[in-house]
Structure 1
Amino acid sequence: MFLGEYEHTIDDKGRLAIPARFRDALNEGVVITRGFDKCLMGFPRSVWEELARQVSSLPIGSEETRQLQRMLFSGAADMTLDRQGRILIPQNLREFAELGDQAIIAGLNRHFEIWAPRRWQNVLSAMDANASLFAQKLAELRF
């Protein structure tokens, strides 16, 4: 399970340290791909394989399906953590997410996101502005 928010440095080679709490879940490997809202998404390989099966089963005749498949699969990078618990984020993905030398890693239960700090601050502001809508969603779940 991926929980929490962490700020880490990206070195000159594009390596990013994964939070220690996340590493055990990524022992089998990690897939990083383009995310929504100009972030990157990271998945344990088993979760990625489940997602890939589901997305691949969607009707290819649908333009939305093809766009989703392009977004997820064409930019995906399959990797393993190095001995220091880092991943090498490919240049094209760093450019997509506008990552510089800092990144925010946000846990989202079954996967995590990697954000440029400025963009993450915008996300937090939007979440604050929509707090009452989120409360309604929880109420719908009877929570």
Structure 2
Amino acid sequence: MEIDDIELNIDNPEENDDEGQLTPAEVIELMEEAWINEKFAPEVLPHKLEIVECLLGQISYMEGNLQNLKSSDFKKSIHQLEVDRLRFLVSSYLRTRLEKIETYVTYILQQEQERSEHGKTLYLTKEELQFARDFSEGTL
């Protein structure tokens, strides 16, 4: 496998059947935007779980391609740095959300309850909501 295959085929070619599918660059751009917005917003914003899962899938695919390259290849280390940067982006986004939940747990749970009662879209994922409840009850 050549290094150009990694640059051009970040997403899985077998999964390109859907029209309107985002390119890897668009997914990264959306993730960066979500991260910046979450980082600078005073409260928790609606979750971007689909973007996070898509980017994690791309990272896994890229890592698989990287394993097929020789470790002495300089370009491999450059691409590994990009994979590490993307992992940081995802983890920082998730960490920021958890920090907000820990800081404002009572308010966030009240807001989520109100959204649920009014049939609005919840801002937290199921896992984040469970974390908030556990944190509020002191069971963590």
TM over 0.5: no
User: Which structure carries more helix by proportion?
Assistant: 2
Q: Which has the higher strand share?
A: 1
In our comparison, the structure showing a higher alpha carbon Rg is 2
Bigger RCO of structures 1 and 2 (CA < 8 A, at least 6 apart): 1
